[in-house]
Amino acid sequence: MHHPVWDIFCRVIDNHGDLGVCWRLSVDLASRGQRVRLWVDKPAALAWMAPHGCAGVEVFAWNDDTAFAPPGDVWVEAFGCEIAPSFIAASAVSTWASEPKGLKTPVWINLEYLSAEKHVERLHTLPSPVLAGPGAGLTKHFFYPGFTERTGGLLREADLLARQQAFDRAAWLAQHGIPWRGERFISLFCYEPPGLAALLTQLAHAPQPTCLLVTDGRAAQAVRAWVAAQADSDFYKQNGRQPMQIVLKQLSFFHLPLLPQTEFDHLLWACDLNLVRGEDSLVRAIWAGQPFAWQIYPQHDNAHHDKLQAFLDSVQAPADLQDFHRVYNGITHHALPPLNLPAWHKAAQAARARLLAQTDLCSQLLAFVAQRRGE
């Protein structure tokens, strides 16, 4: 049986989330016997995101001067990045209009952003004829990841549950030099959440000690800024240490380096609450099965307000967790609700179980491509 060659195109917009999703998809496809070529305009982040690469996945730099290999059987333009016209032109598209015997047109997929909004079910797999340019005569199909059976599902590799069951939390913490004295662990992967300062203040004054495992980049910068603002506090003066080492009452910090994707999964599995952002880390937090809160990417027209509410409804988040999300994301401005981890854990486990019962994104893509190719 001929395994189709997949060409996946990705543009890194700002925070590597697009690349994170594309890399996970590429690896998942390769694990199922597919050949994948990932075309990305800024591949440098893969040095830490996937330092060992993946058998079956070739990575190519994609820029205006790229000389493309003969195009493959499946084209995926991720998140509306638009496949390079020179790539399409190199495909002798004009010869496909009549589909000579034995020559299949490529399956062209526009992989969209993840959303729980209602329109996703309506638009999923809809065709979009290409009317102009070198691809005229071909047809794209929209493919929407999502949270219901009538969407494309979520990325979930076949060995995920087995890896989770084998995970040793204490060993992982020790491997990373993270001391464990019985305190709860909270991971922080964020932009600059409007409710972060209120949360850190709440944790510092909570009855239970907390260690915040802070990811590198914008999360670390946000925490440093908050700690620096506490410079007048006695705790800051007494410690006299660097912001990421300081202990403020019941709150301590541990600064993590940039983590490969597999290690990021381990971080989420090790924590009692995961504060995540964007798309890729949200899905990984769902699979972790621990309580989580999501910082949705803010949009200037506040469209993210409805997107966040649609997601909270889809996972049946408890009322106080919904309220926490709204304050954390700056949608409402009253006091941040206290953490309610037992109830949030129950809700997270229930949402995870419902989503595990659905067909994953990679399986659905493979089935869709096979159908389009008449296999």
- Say if residue 248's pLDDT is above 80: no
Same-domain check for residues 32 and 55:
yes
Same-domain check for residues 245 and 208:
yes
Same-domain check for residues 191 and 95:
no
**Active site (catalytic) residues:** 18, 279
Same-domain check for residues 148 and 172:
no
Same-domain check for residues 181 and 323:
yes
Query: Is there a contact between 116 and 283 (Cβ–Cβ < 8 Å)?
Result: no
Q: What is the 3-state secondary structure (H, E, C) of 286-317?
A: HHHCCCEEEECCCCCCCHHHHHHHHHHHHCCC
Looking at the chain, the whole-number percentage of residues with pLDDT higher than 90 is 73
pLDDT at 300 (0 to 100): 82
What is the chain's mean pLDDT, rounded?
90
pLDDT at 239 (0 to 100): 52
Question: Which residues touch 190 (CB under 8 Å, ≥6 apart)?
Answer: 196, 218, 219, 222, 275, 276, 277, 295
Question: Which residues touch 32 (CB under 8 Å, ≥6 apart)?
Answer: 158, 362, 366
188-240 pLDDT, tens digit each? 999 999 999 999 999 999 999 999 999 999 999 999 889 888 765 555 555 54
CATH number, domain containing residue 321: 3.40.50
Same-domain check for residues 202 and 298:
yes
Contacts of 199-203 with CB under 8 Å at 24 or more apart are 199/328, 199/336, 200/226, 200/248, 200/251, 202/336, 202/338, 202/339, 203/250, 203/251
Reported pTM: 0.92
Q: What is the mean pLDDT of residues 153-177?
A: 96
118-151 pLDDT, tens digit each? 999 999 999 999 998 888 889 999 999 999 999 9
Domain of 280 in residue numbering reads as 160-356
Same-domain check for residues 181 and 318:
yes
Same-domain check for residues 24 and 100:
yes
Total of domains in the chain: 2
- Say if residue 264's pLDDT is above 70: yes
Same-domain check for residues 110 and 178:
no
Residue corresponding to tokens 């989580």: 292
4-16 pLDDT, tens digit each? 899 999 998 776 7
Q: How far is CA 31 from CA 2, 24, 28, 284, in A?
A: 16, 11, 5, 18
Query: Is there a contact between 111 and 76 (Cβ–Cβ < 8 Å)?
Result: yes
Same-domain check for residues 141 and 188:
no
pLDDT band at 94 (very low <50, low <70, confident <90, very high): very low
Same-domain check for residues 142 and 279:
no
21-56 pLDDT, tens digit each? 999 999 999 999 999 999 999 999 999 999 999 999
pLDDT at 242 (0 to 100): 52
- Say if residue 80's pLDDT is above 70: yes
Q: How far apart are the first and last CA of the chain?
A: 10
Query: Is there a contact between 363 and 158 (Cβ–Cβ < 8 Å)?
Result: no
pLDDT at 228 (0 to 100): 82
Same-domain check for residues 82 and 167:
no
Q: What is the DSSP letter of 32?
A: T
